[in-house]
Structure 1
Amino acid sequence: MTDAPYSPKLYSTVWRAVIIAGLALAIAPVLPAQSSRRGAADKGPRALGLLELAANGKAHLIPITIMYDGKFYDASAYKAAPVPMALEGGTVYEAVKSGVSQGLFTITGAAHAGANWVGEGTWKSAEQLAAAAAKKEARQTKPAEAEVDRPPVLRRSGSDKPAATETTKPSTPPATPAPAAASAPPVPVQTEEEDPNRPLLKRGKPSTEARPAKPGGSSTIASPSAKSAAASAKTGSVQLIPAISDADGPEPSSYTFSTKPEEEQQFRKKILALAADEVRSRDRQLAGETIAPARTQRSTISREQPTFKDPQLRIFDLSSSNEPVLVLTTSAHMPRRAEREYFVTLVAREDLNGDLHKAFSNVTDSQHLDVRQRMELIDAVDADGDGRGELLFRQISDAGRAFSIYRVIGDQLYPLFEGTPQ
């Protein structure tokens, strides 16, 4: 029996495989950590509101939700004593349009608008903030230039300091009544506000434009301001912008899906075809509830093409994955019942083959708002602070108005928050 021949190539191959396997085991724990660099979920508190911005620059804030420890609460009632936590004076909200910052809104007071709370405050657009920052930077550099251009001045040793001490010494005796002025703010209010265990939203720096964060200032209920808020909301020039207040939240990022004009036309054509199917289906359902149509009438209804009025198409990239999410809001009429106006809200996603799949559909009309609400898209917003965008809707029904937040997962919408109509 002869010994097997020695093969150095075989042993080198085996040794190389062992090294590669060892490196794979060493790198394996690192890869998941790098692929999940979204960071830990924001536990909050994270407040979401709706900013009503008028053309004259005046703004009001409607509180919607406060997310704390992964749960959503109604911001108009969360920690209200009596003013909700979301509307405490000095709280700063960043207005974001499709994830892009538009400016800052600082709460200075709160008011009742019917059964709802409305936040009063000061609005600074992104352009105004940038101009103020540039002006401040220029102001800081001016003294150095002035010092260089100033003619030389001879000073005697100790001549300037005595003057400073002489001016400050007479000012110390009249300063005795200062403690009386400092004791003006009520102590119980400050101790209640500065509870170390109480969660805090994003606070603004004290300035002449924004009052200090003090519940005493924000708890005053001013009915005239509530009337002005309701009046400005009725004008057609009011912008509705989501606003976020979070002391430790992520930086905002854009959720707009960029498309070419011809691509947008293709998206519009496809989603209007889906919307036509939804309107016809709802129309057949309502026709069956009234009078059972004949077979010829059913076939006629199925072939009818609805007429759409003012279709609004928004295309989002909610997870920065280059996967478009389409949201269509429009009204429609059927030829056989032109007096009935349908309100359509449709959410769809595109697959790898370019086909649209319905994720959500809501079709109602003015005669059935008691059983099916109308849904208006506000915008895409990061409601929970994980970097991904959710869809913010306003629901309108016979019971009142409410806000709802939905997350798009696959071909479905999952509700994160649904408010109570008021």
Structure 2
Amino acid sequence: MRQKFILAIALLPAVGLRGHLHGQMHKVAKPEDVVRAVGVYEWIGDRTKPTATRLIPVSLYIDDEFQDAGVYLSRPVPFALDIGTIYEVDKSGVPGGNLELISARRLKPVGDTDRFDDGWVGYGKFAVPKVKKGAALKPSTATATITSDKADKDSDRPTFARRVDHTEAGSKSSATPTAGSPVGGSPAPPDDPDRPHLSKKPDATSPAATDDKSAPTDTTADKTPPPPVTSGNPSPDADRPTLRKRSPEEAKKARKEADQSSARGLATSLNDDPDRPTLRRGRGQQELVEGDLPLIKGVPLGLNQAVAVSDASNRPVHDFSRPWEDDAERTTVLGKMQALAQAQLTAYAATNAPAAKPATPPAKTAAKKPISKLRHAKVPESVTPTTPLLDEQLNGYTLSYGGAATYVYTAHTDGEGETLRYVTIVAQRDTFGELKPAIQSVTDAAHLDRTPWMRIVDAVDADASNRASLLFELRGQSARQFALYRVIATRPEQIFLTGTTQ
């Protein structure tokens, strides 16, 4: 008896554990296969009608990892630059147009103006989706009338009266009714002039088809049917196509033109559309001539940039921009970012200032004794002057749902060479609402190969995780790269870096 009791107690945890395991069983959804490409769309001129455009491939998220979109599966064109691929040009996650690739090139630098051009570049046509507006609704001026039958018990109930056929009514009536006379006890409705009428084509053997309308209708005298009437040819249609046989000279000329080019239509071809793409013999689909596409060489002045995303699935729009509450908030944040930038410029100047030449000591002069015994006032210490900042840019983002506000500030100083300095500050708000710097970068125009200039492009969701990263262009002296940074709790992490274009 005691052994059975101990065995029952020992089985209780196993039974409870088995029930617990059965209670936790649930269907696990299959992880989604994400294929998402990110590029930088660059253009010159107006956004809707640019004078020159190009697409720089950046990253390709496939098989749960990032790949360099400029070299991934280049057989012979990279996978992200396949002809026909559509990129969505975004502004902080909000789409603003589509770019369909029609060509891809492998560029190589030739001169000093295009020293940044080294690698694969895509070209296409940018188009802003047009929203069709329907015609404005106008109130009707005609009033609807409802007719009712007096015999009906409910006088307010609408009835539907069938139109009386005059032919049918006339056949049932012994006498032929005249216009306006009652048929079947009800007056005939007036004929509608706009109502279409179907008329049977008269037979050629019928008496109505004869030219002699005064012929007698009695067919008992002459039972021979009248001869058919031959009508003349109808008037020719000007738009009706006609077939004609070629002369020997025209056929010889057509064969000669076909031998010269198999893709050229005839002079009277219906496919002579000026916007229709033409096929060139001996050229690939991706190799176009210089005049086919407006090209950008190097990094010219007035170059605009935007993020371009191509995804295999349609995903909901996620706006990562953070609008300002009011002008006072922007002024406050701008002042704090400027203070962080000034501190970085001062520290950079102290570390990278050129060695100053030793100054000649002044000639010794006899110290003059003060005539008066009054105490002299103390000279105040010199205050470090602030450096003027030019082309200031301040952007606010919310990189995730419910995440902290992230601000990106960029500017540069005046000057040339070592005196021209670029500063970039990325800061986030902590739990107390204070701005804490996450990324601080300072460099000058003479040392871009040592420390590149960090230029913000935009925020982008590179892996379809509903969490945005900051896309920067790292521009050097003769080369540039693109990098993705994820900033969480004021801690930056570089999650992807492209190869250099040099």
The TM-score with structure 1 as length reference comes to: 0.64
Deviation at 1:392, TM superposition (A): 0.6
Does structure 2 conserve the Cα–Cα contact (< 8 Å) formed by 1:47 and 1:67? yes
SS in 2 for 1:230: coil
Deviation at 1:303, TM superposition (A): 3.1
Deviation at 1:248, TM superposition (A): 2.0
Give the aligned partner of residue 405 of structure 2. Answer: 324
Q: Which amino acid aligns with 1:262?
A: A
Q: Is it true that 1:98 corresponds to 2:92 in the alignment?
A: yes
Q: Which amino acid aligns with 2:457?
A: I
Deviation at 1:376, TM superposition (A): 0.4
**Quick one: which of 233, 252, 257 aligns to 2:322?**
257
Give the aligned partner of residue 413 of structure 1. Answer: 492
Deviation at 1:217, TM superposition (A): 9.6
Q: Is it true that 1:46 corresponds to 2:111 in the alignment?
A: no
Q: Is it true that 1:375 corresponds to 2:454 in the alignment?
A: yes
Unaligned 5+ residue runs, structure 1?
1-24, 34-38, 137-149, 157-183, 185-207, 295-299
**CA distance in 1: counterparts of 2:492 and 2:498, whole angstroms:** 16
Does structure 2 conserve the Cα–Cα contact (< 8 Å) formed by 1:87 and 1:119? yes
**CA distance in 1: counterparts of 2:467 and 2:50, whole angstroms:** 30
Q: Which amino acid aligns with 2:466?
A: G
* Residues 240-266 of structure 1: per-residue CA shift (max 9 Å, x gap): 111111112532311111111110000
**CA distance in 2: counterparts of 1:418 and 1:302, whole angstroms:** 41
Give the aligned partner of residue 191 of structure 1. Answer: none
Q: Is it true that 1:72 corresponds to 2:66 in the alignment?
A: yes
SS in 1 for 2:399: coil
**Quick one: which of 226, 247, 264 aligns to 2:312?**
247
SS in 2 for 1:95: strand
1:9-408 alignment, distance < 5 Å: 43-54=33-44, 55=46, 56-57=49-50, 59-114=53-108, 115-126=118-129, 128=130, 130-131=131-132, 134=133, 152=196, 154=198, 220-222=286-288, 224=290, 228-230=294-296, 234=300, 236=302, 238-248=303-313, 250-259=315-324, 260-287=326-353, 290=355, 303-321=384-402, 323-332=404-413, 340-408=419-487
**CA distance in 1: counterparts of 2:283 and 2:68, whole angstroms:** 22
Q: Which amino acid aligns with 2:425?
A: L
Does structure 2 conserve the Cα–Cα contact (< 8 Å) formed by 1:318 and 1:325? yes
Structure 1 residues 357, 102: CA separation in 2 closer, same or farther (over 3 Å shift)?
Answer: same
Give the aligned partner of residue 168 of structure 2. Answer: none
Q: RMSD across aligned C-alpha pairs, in angstroms?
A: 3.8
Structure 1 residues 261, 110: CA separation in 2 closer, same or farther (over 3 Å shift)?
Answer: same
Does structure 2 conserve the Cα–Cα contact (< 8 Å) formed by 1:90 and 1:106? yes
Deviation at 1:338, TM superposition (A): 10
Does structure 2 conserve the Cα–Cα contact (< 8 Å) formed by 1:113 and 1:226? no
SS in 2 for 1:76: coil
SS in 2 for 1:272: helix
**CA distance in 2: counterparts of 1:109 and 1:96, whole angstroms:** 21
**CA distance in 2: counterparts of 1:269 and 1:389, whole angstroms:** 26
Structure 1 residues 219, 387: CA separation in 2 closer, same or farther (over 3 Å shift)?
Answer: farther
**CA distance in 2: counterparts of 1:113 and 1:48, whole angstroms:** 20
SS in 2 for 1:387: coil
Q: Which amino acid aligns with 1:286?
A: N
Q: 62-71 or 108-117: which moved more?
A: 108-117
Q: Which amino acid aligns with 2:309?
A: I
Deviation at 1:235, TM superposition (A): 5.5
Q: Which amino acid aligns with 2:430?
A: D
Does structure 1 conserve the Cα–Cα contact (< 8 Å) formed by 2:102 and 2:286? no
Structure 1 residues 373, 217: CA separation in 2 closer, same or farther (over 3 Å shift)?
Answer: same
Does structure 2 conserve the Cα–Cα contact (< 8 Å) formed by 1:315 and 1:325? yes
Does structure 2 conserve the Cα–Cα contact (< 8 Å) formed by 1:331 and 1:341? yes
Does structure 2 conserve the Cα–Cα contact (< 8 Å) formed by 1:112 and 1:221? no
Deviation at 1:152, TM superposition (A): 4.5
**CA distance in 1: counterparts of 2:276 and 2:68, whole angstroms:** 25
Does structure 2 conserve the Cα–Cα contact (< 8 Å) formed by 1:249 and 1:385? no
* Residues 83-109 of structure 1: per-residue CA shift (max 9 Å, x gap): 111111111111111111101111122
Does structure 2 conserve the Cα–Cα contact (< 8 Å) formed by 1:284 and 1:301? no
Paired residue total: 309
Structure 1 residues 303, 293: CA separation in 2 closer, same or farther (over 3 Å shift)?
Answer: farther
**CA distance in 2: counterparts of 1:379 and 1:217, whole angstroms:** 37
Does structure 1 conserve the Cα–Cα contact (< 8 Å) formed by 2:472 and 2:482? yes
* Residues 175-227 of structure 1: per-residue CA shift (max 9 Å, x gap): xxxxxxxxx9xxxxxxxxxxxxxxxxxxxxxxx9999xxxx998522351698
Q: Which amino acid aligns with 1:332?
A: T
The TM-score with structure 2 as length reference comes to: 0.54
Q: Which amino acid aligns with 2:419?
A: R
Deviation at 1:304, TM superposition (A): 3.8
Higher strand proportion (structure 1 or 2): 1
Unaligned 5+ residue runs, structure 2?
1-19, 109-117, 136-193, 201-261, 263-273, 360-380
SS in 1 for 2:404: coil
Q: Which amino acid aligns with 2:124?
A: G
Q: Which amino acid aligns with 1:48?
A: V
